[in-house]
Homo-oligomer: A and B are copies of this chain.
Amino acid sequence: MPKPPGTAGYGRRMQSRSPAPRATGRPRSTTADTAILAATREALVELGWSKLTLGDVAARAGVAKTTLYRRWAGKNELVVDAVAALFDELRLPDRGSLAADIEGVVLQFAAILARPEAKSGLMAVIAESTRDEALRERIRTSIVARQKRLVLEGRTRAQSRGELPPEQDPKTAAHTADLIFDVVAGAVVHRTLVSAEPADETWAMAFTKLLLEGLKETPR
């Protein structure tokens, strides 16, 4: 009996990998998937990461505990998928200028991180991922990559507007994109979780100004 035929909800996003979703036998209940992930988020809000137990999640979702273990290897993987669903709503409408786009990205990150299930879940799995390469890769593809796409998209727009210089060397361009992403995402996360203060519009404006103009006074 193979453990991960599609690795549950996560598999749906990259079904290009799995050779065949299996044609025979009773199919896995997709409603159970969504119920389990919703129950996981609910438990994260009420109990937090450390006190969350798989037995409790199963009871909330109305499924047997064994069903959970058939689909997910453990708590870490389950919470990653549950939290990843929160990032589905990430969009980047064109707001006309680089500054406005940065503010938009920041506020969207902040809105997700303001949720208690994201706060207690995301950082915990990131902490666990320092000792688990597979988990880190799972987080990267299902969460970080989607955040990063927004940053890259905003950058392309700014270049087409002429607000940013076009890419010179594609290698250094990738490095600066990584840098900007770490700065944007890191700042929002640190503000929200460590400083524990809201990353509201006022803060987003100040951050954008700093990111665009820098710390030095720009000589006129």
A residues sitting closer than 8 Å to B (CB atoms) are: 48-50, 75, 98, 116, 119-124, 126-131, 136, 139, 144, 163-165, 175-176, 178-183, 185-191, 193-197, 203, 206-207, 210-220
Contact = CB atoms under 8 A, between A and B. Distances in A.
Nearest to A139: B194
B131 A193 contact: no
Nearest to A46: B131
A181 B207 CA distance: 11
Identical chains bound together, number: 2
Most interface-central of A120, A183, A206 (chain B CB within 10 A): A183
A31 B185 CA distance: 41
A49 to B, nearest CB: 6
A214 B214 contact: yes
A182 B191 contact: yes
B126 A130 contact: no
Nearest to A76: B50
13 contacts: A50-B75, A120-B128, A120-B131, A122-B127, A130-B196, A144-B195, A179-B207, A182-B187, A183-B183, A183-B207, A186-B189, A213-B216, A214-B214
Most B-side CB within 10 Å, residue of A122, A126, A139: A126
B49 A128 contact: yes
A190 B186 contact: yes
Given A182-B191, A212-B216, A126 B128 contact: no
A125 to B, nearest CB: 8
B215 A212 contact: yes
